[in-house]
A and B are shown apart, each in its own frame.
Chain A
Amino acid sequence: MDWYVIISNTLRGGISQSAIIYALAAIGLNLHFGYTGLLNFGQVGFMAAGAYGLGITTDTYGWPLWAGIVAGLAAGVVLALLLGAPTLRLRADYLAIVTIAAGEIIRLTVRAARFSDTTGGSNGINGFANEFQGWNPFDPSAGYGTRVFGELDLRYNGADLWEHIVGWALVGVAMLVMWMLVTSPWGRVLKSIREDEDASRALGKNVFRFKMQSLILGGTFGAIAGMFFAVSNNSVQPDNYSTPVTFFALTAAIIGGLGRVAGPVIGAIIFWMILAFTDNVLRQAVGEEYIPRSIMESTQVGQVRFMLVGVGLILLLVFRPQGVIGDKREVAIDVRK
């Protein structure tokens, strides 16, 4: 077992582009569920709206990248309006049903052969974001970073480094926006809606408006996550936007702690560190036959690591239901009284 490889890959996993994507998506879900009580089970739909809004306008219509980013943001806002208008006046579970369905509708629509001229069908859209690496101040092919303690490999090429810097800067800005908002009177109204929207109404708050704003803003974070996904891969693939993505992002938010600004970010980092760690350990253990082939093949590692994450999540909810940085008092309260 090469522990240097395992540890460096675990660290890399925690700050990877995937962690950035899930952190951004989970920040949006945290605004929806952790602060407003909105059950959005289709965050992936907002990610797809952002990614395809960007991909279609830049590739199919030849817009510049910045205009594509504006289009991606607009697509997220439009989706939020479409989903919110009919459902936000109803009980919370209606939004859950509609969002989960909308996510699938978007995925199936963009991968349909009927629209392949525009969306690329099941092949998706590729090579539309070269401009992003054109903005890169580093040399994309040169190596940066160093080996720590002689063996721990923390080197990145210029292209990766640029993506990491832009991605974590986006996460930082999103966290700042969230912090400014949830400490404002606006954030206080959102929390009151989460607790009891009739009480909020009885105190003169236009609950529908606040819910809609929350849905739009959280959806925008989802669209930004999708656009970062698209740009860092220089590609949009419809099957990357399937239903489980939402639930992994929700898992990250729960691991970190709902209703905390840093919760979803810490959760996303931990989530991807666990995945990288289990992946590397299992792969090496199977390769060196610490785990006999009769029990597990190397091709099964990808599935087994998600099982381990599931077990870990169950243990977390049993022993630390408020998440890593959540407030114990909040889960201890008996709201039925």
Chain B
Amino acid sequence: MSASEGAAEHGRTSGGGGAAGLRAEVWDNPAAGVFAGVESTPGVGKPDPILVADDVTRTFGGLRAVSVDHLEVQRGAITALIGPNGAGKTTFFNLLTGFDKPERGHVVFDGEPASGQASYTLASKGMVRTFQLTKVLAKMSVLDNMMLAAQEQSGESMWRGLLRGWGSQEAVVRQRSLDILDEFNMTHMRDEFAGALSGGQRKLLEMARSLMAAPRLIMLDEPMAGVNPALTQSLLGHVKRLRAEGITVMFVEHDMDVVRDISDWVVVMAEGQIIAEGPPESIGANTAVIDAYLGSSHATLTEEIITGHVPTATEIDGATDG
């Protein structure tokens, strides 16, 4: 099945998010094979990087939170960023997206210097992020959440907003919002306040909303955290669809099943540094990764150890309130 057929089928399907999530979806992987000649060493060059970080350093007091010598993120692929708690993954995300400023170093996004740029500038240029704790706009409707995210709206100028003339653009934005909501099976919630959604639905809304911003690189900070297994499958499908549509994805994740399922490349951070890179199937055997998670005396690394735990039935129930 091609990507476009898949999108159409998805759009037509009605029913709850759970049912949609359980349906098997197959998406093209345009990134398949691009890492063929790439060595599994930290800081290795990629054939066509969309994001290049050099010597990015951030300290909090005496703690060196992030110290990345060199990282390239391959265009059009799904790159997972993993590492133990406190490894600096979210801080690194903040530095890349302009939400925090590094003491040193520079970042290049799609050929343009990104360091020192404001977060909103980077977002409008196509580097769109989500947050570990979802940031939906609680007292705005789901549809307004979506429509807000469209870029270059002329009605966002105060004078134009006052004097009108943005009606036709608004209609286009509205239609695109409805289309994307439909793809995410959220059409029936469009008039609800976003604050009334469950945790999993908020994750879905945040991902759908970032699509409205026409991203070239989408950076997801723990998109599956606190989401029930059925919805996780649905979210995974959406991430793969992004890749099929040519959008580069970088995401932080703890769940190794998820990482192995969707990522083309895995970057491992520990103590603020990139300690390993490689394809998902080989990364668990990497000695540096094992040392980082367990200390050097252990020989094998199970997925449960990287994940921290195996989800229990009660936890899954807790996340299944939508």
Which residues does A use to contact B, with CB under 8 Å? 177, 180-181, 184-189, 191-192, 194-196, 198-207, 213, 217, 259, 329-330, 333-335, 337
Q: Looking at the complex, which one of A184, A201, A205 makes contact with B162 (CB distance below 8 Å)? A: A184
Contact B161 A185 (CB under 8 A): yes
Contact A204 B195 (CB under 8 A): no
A-B contact count (CB 8 A): 121
Contact B147 A188 (CB under 8 A): yes
Q: Which residue of A lies closest to B159 (CB)?
A: A186
Instruction: Write the B137-160 contact mask toward A (1 if CB under 8 angstroms, else 0).
Output: 111100010011101011111101
Any A CB within 8 A of the CB of B213: yes
Please indicate the chain A residues that have their CB under 8 angstroms from the CB of B157 in the complex.
186
Contact A204 B97 (CB under 8 A): no
- In the complex, given contacts A203-B212, A206-B120, what are 6 additional A-B residue pairs having Cβ atoms less than 8 angstroms apart? A181-B161, A184-B164, A186-B155, A201-B99, A201-B123, A337-B199
* Of B43-51, B124-132, B281-289, B302-310, the one touching chain A: B124-132
Please indicate the chain A residues that have their CB under 8 angstroms from the CB of B53 in the complex.
none
Q: Looking at the complex, which one of B119, B130, B166, B196 makes contact with A185 (CB distance below 8 Å)? A: B166
Interface of chain A, main secondary structure = helix
Contact A330 B148 (CB under 8 A): no
Please indicate the chain B residues that have their CB under 8 angstroms from the CB of A333 in the complex.
138-139, 193, 195-196
Q: Looking at the complex, which one of B128, B144, B155, B158 makes contact with A217 (CB distance below 8 Å)? A: B158
Please indicate the chain A residues that have their CB under 8 angstroms from the CB of B151 in the complex.
204
Tell me, in angstroms, the Cα distance from A334 to B199 when the chains sit together: 12
Tell me, in angstroms, the Cα distance from A217 to B162 when the chains sit together: 12
Instruction: Write the B18-61 contact mask toward A (1 if CB under 8 angstroms, else 0).
Output: 00000000000000000000000000000000000000000000
Please indicate the chain A residues that have their CB under 8 angstroms from the CB of B123 in the complex.
201-204
Please indicate the chain B residues that have their CB under 8 angstroms from the CB of A205 in the complex.
120, 148, 156
Q: Which residue of A lies closest to B167 (CB)?
A: A184
Tell me, in angstroms, the Cα distance from A135 to B298 when the chains sit together: 91
Any A CB within 8 A of the CB of B135: yes
Tell me, in angstroms, the Cα distance from A217 to B158 when the chains sit together: 10
Instruction: Write the B234-258 contact mask toward A (1 if CB under 8 angstroms, else 0).
Output: 0000000000000000000000000
Please indicate the chain A residues that have their CB under 8 angstroms from the CB of B210 in the complex.
202-203
Contact A204 B120 (CB under 8 A): yes
Q: Given A184-B155, A330-B193, A337-B195, A202 and B137 touching (CB < 8 A)?
A: no
Contact B164 A189 (CB under 8 A): no
In angstroms, how far is the closest chain B Cβ from the Cβ of A205?
6
